[in-house]
Structure 1
Amino acid sequence: MAEGKRVIIKRKRKKKRKRKLFLFVILLLFAVAVAYSVFQYWEGKKAAEDKINNPERDQEMEEYANDFEASEPVDGKVNVLLLGEDSDEYGISRTDTIMIAQYDADNDRAKLVSIMRDTYVNIPDYGYNKINVAYANGGPELLRKTIKENFDIDIHNYAIVNFEGFAHIVDTIAPDGIEIDVEKQMNYTDNAGGLRIDLEPGVQNLTGEELLGYARFRHDGESDFGRVRRQQQVMSVLKDELLSFSSIIKIPKVVGTLIPYVNTNMSETDIGRYAVSFLTDTPKEIETLRIPVELPNSYWPVTHSHAGEVLEIDEAMNRQALEDFLERGINPLEEQSGETESGEQQ
């Protein structure tokens, strides 16, 4: 009887030792993962910072952040103004890309709206002009006001990515390149702007610089419309690549690389929090829309003496389309398609 008790006690002790060993291994792995993440983050950040040294630009970006009047999301949907920036031959900054990215963590949905840079809108205190003039005259804050004035959409945060930074970020995510099916031959050289695009058609792996050229190309029959379409395609492909198993372990390094190249009103803590939320509740796809919206009589090309060639828009139609898409979860293009099919069946 006593012998049986001793056996039971020994078994219990072994189980406790195994449980402690298991917990110790888990904690050790967790500590290693944290240490690796921190190391990767700082390695990526230091490598990026070593390539950037522009005190004047840093001061300008600090002023942008101080001027930006961010509002707090009220329904869990965060609207982030994404701006792709380069400089002309005189060093003047300009926005080649204007997007609104919405992340709805409560419903695991991500949306992306591209606003064409030639869209003719009313810029507060400046009057009507191309929407990218708002950024040139007043940075992200004036652009935020312009979007609110014309489309009644609140912007909560902004992020400005220079194109050099975009290429480095892509190369960090995918050192072997991003697979893209280039639909046509793309050749263009802008020596003043430092842009050279030389792509052959077909499926191929593009480096960060090549992918940037693919996204920026507009010297064909589609012009800016094709560029906006490709930009949205690139964002979707990058999302898929970032969430692949091989890339997930690089997330800390990607964030570290990204931060020096991205100017934003968000703190590093906020960026990390959004990244973790996005990774743990990944949306199945990124829903996309373009402004002017692709509906009949939504826009028309016009030339003005003060603004050049612009896209005048049906303001009410585009405002409603954007509000339906971001706030109500209604895609105006799908709704229009459904109405057309219904009419044809009748």
Structure 2
Amino acid sequence: MRKDTENEMEQIQKGLERFLEREVDGVREDSRSEDEEELWEADAEDGEEESDFFTEDEEEDSFREEEDFSQEDEEEVPVEKKKISRREAEDRSMGRRREQKEENQSGRTGKKKKHSGLKKFLIFILILLVIFFGGLYLAVGVVYDQMNYEQNESVSGPLKENGVTSVLLIGSDSRTSGTEGRSDAMILITISDRTKTVHMTSLLRDMYVEIPGYEGNRLNAAYAYGGPELLMETINQNLGTEVYHYAVVNFEAFANLVDAVGGVELELTNEEVQWVNAYLNEYNELRGMPMETDYLDTSLSGNIHLNGAQALAYCRNRYIGTDFARTQRQRNVLSAVMKKLPGALITNPGGLINGLFPNLTTNLTQGECMRLAMMAGKLLTYDIVQDSLPLDGTYSNATIREMSVLQVDFDQNRAYIRKEIYGEE
């Protein structure tokens, strides 16, 4: 199932190794060329010294002949010969060679050494990158093994399209891992390199949409009919998005994620506090806890610290305001979690891995998870934009087949998505 991903990572690793080998060979070649050139220069200097040595002897012989010729009628005077031994000539040659080498170090040879040093530095950086990516790959592998992977059957496409990375986050009320159950929340996460923004766009489940292979219905019916793939196909067809990857989290995963980052601080009205306690009744029953576990003080309001169970109850509240208000609460929690996530990755990685990922189902491959992990650093500098669809003024309330639905002007919403998310004019 993961063979394609493993092959992809092996190709990346082999490519890095080949590049590293080429760079090392290049440094060796430069080193050989430098040594050969110095040896050639040394040989040339030896030749010059030997030539100088024998020239002095010849000069001495010539001098003696001239002396003998000019003083042939005079009294013969012994001439003291000045001879240079080969040992002395070699010593002189070594001295001149050292001087020449010192000059070369500040000239052409110095440039070669500087170039060679730069290559060694680049190779050092490359080795660090190989170690980093190898460690990151192992870390992603550990996390990935905790997830529930589902291979695409009918919907496929790139993770990144037109400079935008898209993942559909689905909150399911299923009691165990997997994609069974109802779609309780749908948030389209889009990361734009062009605008350096992370869009969190809530999709209202009551939108009346055309579902491929079925009659028109609410958006969340697509999930009930055909799971995440049919839901993505429906969203792409009606809203003009380009999303082919999803992550489904259940109640337990959501609560564990909030707990793993240390909880979240949110503004709550006193009415919202009352409803948090009401929703906790159902959740406590599901997890076999006493009825009043995690109850909030009913007199509270304002900035309140929520743990995982309390944040989940806060998000599920559908009795205060419209569905727009409910999706806004979901985005509030998600935004607060994203801000605390980098710190939790350092201080509590085990809590994230063990609490979230066993309760997460996705069609992202290990290679795609690797690419998302590599984006984490730059995402800290991106702006987070919260939004919801349909846009205000582009829908009306209606009743179809005894269902309360939102009839949407999809042309206006598609135009908004293509411009704001995909950068089209």
Shift of 1:40: 11
- Unaligned 5+ runs, structure 2: 1-123
Q: Please name the residue that 1:321 is paired with.
A: 416
The answer to whether the 8 Å contact 2:167/2:243 transfers is yes
For residues 260 and 401 of structure 2, the distance between their equivalents in structure 1, rounded to whole angstroms, comes to 44
Q: For the structure 1 residues 126 and 206, does the alpha-carbon distance in structure 2 shift closer, same or farther, using more than 3 Å as the test?
A: same
Alignment of 1:113-262 (within 5 A): 113-174=201-262, 177-184=263-270, 185-187=273-275, 188-189=278-279, 191=282, 194=286, 199=296, 200-220=300-320, 222-244=321-343, 247-251=345-349, 254-255=352-353, 257-262=355-360
Q: Please name the residue that 1:293 is paired with.
A: 391
The answer to whether the 8 Å contact 1:110/1:283 transfers is no
Shift of 1:281: 4.2
For residues 230 and 237 of structure 2, the distance between their equivalents in structure 1, rounded to whole angstroms, comes to 10
Shift of 1:68: 4.5
Q: Please name the residue that 1:86 is paired with.
A: 173
Shift of 1:269: 4.0
For residues 39 and 158 of structure 1, the distance between their equivalents in structure 2, rounded to whole angstroms, comes to 21
The answer to whether the 8 Å contact 1:186/1:217 transfers is no
For residues 259 and 92 of structure 1, the distance between their equivalents in structure 2, rounded to whole angstroms, comes to 17
The answer to whether the 8 Å contact 1:41/1:257 transfers is no
Shift of 1:141: 1.2
Letter in 1 for 2:314: Y
Letter in 1 for 2:331: Q
Q: Please name the residue that 1:103 is paired with.
A: 191
Letter in 2 for 1:84: G
Letter in 2 for 1:183: T
Structure with higher Rg: it is 2
Q: Please name the residue that 2:107 is paired with.
A: none
Q: Tell me the matched-pair count.
A: 279
Per-residue Cα deviation, 1:56-100 (whole angstroms, up to 9, x for no partner)? xx7xx73xx332522113323111111000149xx9610010111
The DSSP-based 3-state class of the residue aligned with 1:213 is helix
Q: Which structure has greater helix proportion? A: 2
Q: For the structure 1 residues 323 and 252, does the alpha-carbon distance in structure 2 shift closer, same or farther, using more than 3 Å as the test?
A: farther
For residues 193 and 356 of structure 2, the distance between their equivalents in structure 1, rounded to whole angstroms, comes to 22
For residues 139 and 191 of structure 2, the distance between their equivalents in structure 1, rounded to whole angstroms, comes to 28
Of 70, 77, 97, which residue of structure 1 is paired with 2:156?
Answer: 70
Q: For the structure 1 residues 281 and 95, does the alpha-carbon distance in structure 2 shift closer, same or farther, using more than 3 Å as the test?
A: closer
The DSSP-based 3-state class of the residue aligned with 2:331 is helix
* 1:276 matches 2:374: yes
For residues 38 and 255 of structure 1, the distance between their equivalents in structure 2, rounded to whole angstroms, comes to 14
Per-residue Cα deviation, 1:172-222 (whole angstroms, up to 9, x for no partner)? 221xx22122133332347499498954422221111111111111212x1
Q: Please name the residue that 1:17 is paired with.
A: none
Q: For the structure 1 residues 300 and 218, does the alpha-carbon distance in structure 2 shift closer, same or farther, using more than 3 Å as the test?
A: same
CA RMSD of aligned residues (A): 3.5
For residues 373 and 140 of structure 2, the distance between their equivalents in structure 1, rounded to whole angstroms, comes to 15
Letter in 1 for 2:243: I
- Unaligned 5+ runs, structure 1: 1-22, 50-57, 331-346
For residues 253 and 229 of structure 1, the distance between their equivalents in structure 2, rounded to whole angstroms, comes to 26
Shift of 1:286: 1.2
Q: Which structure has greater strand proportion? A: 1
Q: For the structure 1 residues 92 and 186, does the alpha-carbon distance in structure 2 shift closer, same or farther, using more than 3 Å as the test?
A: farther
The DSSP-based 3-state class of the residue aligned with 1:93 is coil
For residues 237 and 158 of structure 1, the distance between their equivalents in structure 2, rounded to whole angstroms, comes to 21
For residues 231 and 279 of structure 1, the distance between their equivalents in structure 2, rounded to whole angstroms, comes to 24
The answer to whether the 8 Å contact 1:98/1:117 transfers is yes
TM-score (norm: length of structure 1)? 0.69
The answer to whether the 8 Å contact 2:161/2:242 transfers is no
